[in-house]
Structure 1
Amino acid sequence: MTLPHLTFAAPPLLDFAAVDENDAVRRTADLLAIGSGITNFGGFVDAVIDRQRINPPLLGNGVAIPHARTVLASEIVCVAARCASPIPFGPEAEPVRLIFLLGIPPHRISEYLELMSVLVKRLRDPEVLNGLLTAETPEEFTRLLA
């Protein structure tokens, strides 16, 4: 099964260190800083962090999917990162190692929902999840989601 409309805006960031949830989200978002379809990078990052505060999108099993539905995204964009060690996310300080960060324009919600459905299904597959946690290269990481 392929992920509809999902192309990573940049190669995944593997095994980076972060001090907390906001730092992890910002470092992942940095992958979108240049040429990604985000029209105001600072505003976009603020929108993602604000969304995290209201209702952090945690999938469980060490996966977070921070995102923002905003006019600051001219197209659906996605980047992925893997933390070197678990970072506490949300009010329950759930340990997260895999981050999939998305920007979604308001007029592309139905495509976003379709994409999320398939992505979440893939991320719940134990083989895929283990592969993402042990992938040695960004290409191997990306291939696991194809």
Structure 2
Amino acid sequence: MTPISDVLQPDHVNLALSAKSKAEAVEAVLSKLNGDPRVTNFAQLEEAVKARNAPAISENGWGICLAHGRTDSVTELVMAAGRVTPGFSCRDVRDPVRLVFVAGIPSAFDSEYLRIVGAIARICRDRHQFERLLAAKTPEDFIHLLGAAEVKL
């Protein structure tokens, strides 16, 4: 079982994301994966992510967006995240989207990706955990909070 903290790296976290739409946010977060050695072809990853509708979910007054693409252009599961203050409107949900996660998934990681996304969704449903993620000062703190909450699931 791969922990979130092994998939999400500090240089792939943007805690000051400025985005006014889901498409803009997904593109900005996805760009954090450009140059990652696990991404062999960023253009193909970008195409795979943009080809899918990035679902947004809403819980307890906030929204999160979980975008992904399945492609052979990643050698292992990769992920990036962004925090948007004060959030952006999305027609999929009634609440402002505050957190955006983007993943590149190789074919062999189906169940691992689903497990990690499920963990992120459960963590974000908890108001206390979500508020802690919104208050994280550094990417390392953000990842540590996700990892510590994941262990408790």
Band the TM-score falls in, shorter-chain normalisation: 0.7 to 0.9
**Which residues of structure 2 form unaligned runs of 5+?**
148-153
Letter in 2 for 1:78: M
SS of the residue corresponding to residue 38 of structure 1 reads coil
1:5, distance to aligned residue in structure 2 (A):
7.1
Count, aligned residues: 142
1:19-73 residue CA offsets vs partner (Å, 9 max, x unmatched): 3222111110111001241222122112212212xxx322213211111122222
Counterpart in 2 of 1:33? Answer: 34
* RMSD of aligned residue pairs (Cα, Å): 2.2
SS of the residue corresponding to residue 103 of structure 1 reads strand
Counterpart in 2 of 1:7? Answer: 7
SS of the residue corresponding to residue 85 of structure 1 reads strand
SS of the residue corresponding to residue 99 of structure 1 reads strand
Alpha-carbon distance between aligned partners in 2 of 1:142 and 1:119, rounded to the nearest angstrom? 11
Counterpart of 1:57 (choices 36, 55, 58) is 55
Q: 1:4 to 1:135 in 2, by over 3 A?
A: closer
1:11, distance to aligned residue in structure 2 (A):
4.2
Counterpart in 2 of 1:112? Answer: 113
> Aligned runs of 1:17-32 on 2, under 5 Å?
17-32=18-33
Q: Is residue 64–residue 97 contact of structure 2 (8 Å, CA) maintained in 1?
A: yes
Alpha-carbon distance between aligned partners in 1 of 2:37 and 2:26, rounded to the nearest angstrom? 16
Alpha-carbon distance between aligned partners in 1 of 2:32 and 2:104, rounded to the nearest angstrom? 12
Q: Is residue 4–residue 146 contact of structure 2 (8 Å, CA) maintained in 1?
A: no
Q: 1:72 to 1:12 in 2, by over 3 A?
A: same
SS of the residue corresponding to residue 130 of structure 1 reads helix
Q: Is residue 3–residue 145 contact of structure 1 (8 Å, CA) maintained in 2?
A: no
Alpha-carbon distance between aligned partners in 2 of 1:106 and 1:114, rounded to the nearest angstrom? 15
Q: Is residue 36–residue 77 contact of structure 1 (8 Å, CA) maintained in 2?
A: no
Alpha-carbon distance between aligned partners in 1 of 2:6 and 2:65, rounded to the nearest angstrom? 17
Alpha-carbon distance between aligned partners in 1 of 2:66 and 2:88, rounded to the nearest angstrom? 14
Q: 1:58 to 1:136 in 2, by over 3 A?
A: same
**Which residues of structure 1 form unaligned runs of 5+?**
none
Counterpart in 2 of 1:88? Answer: 89
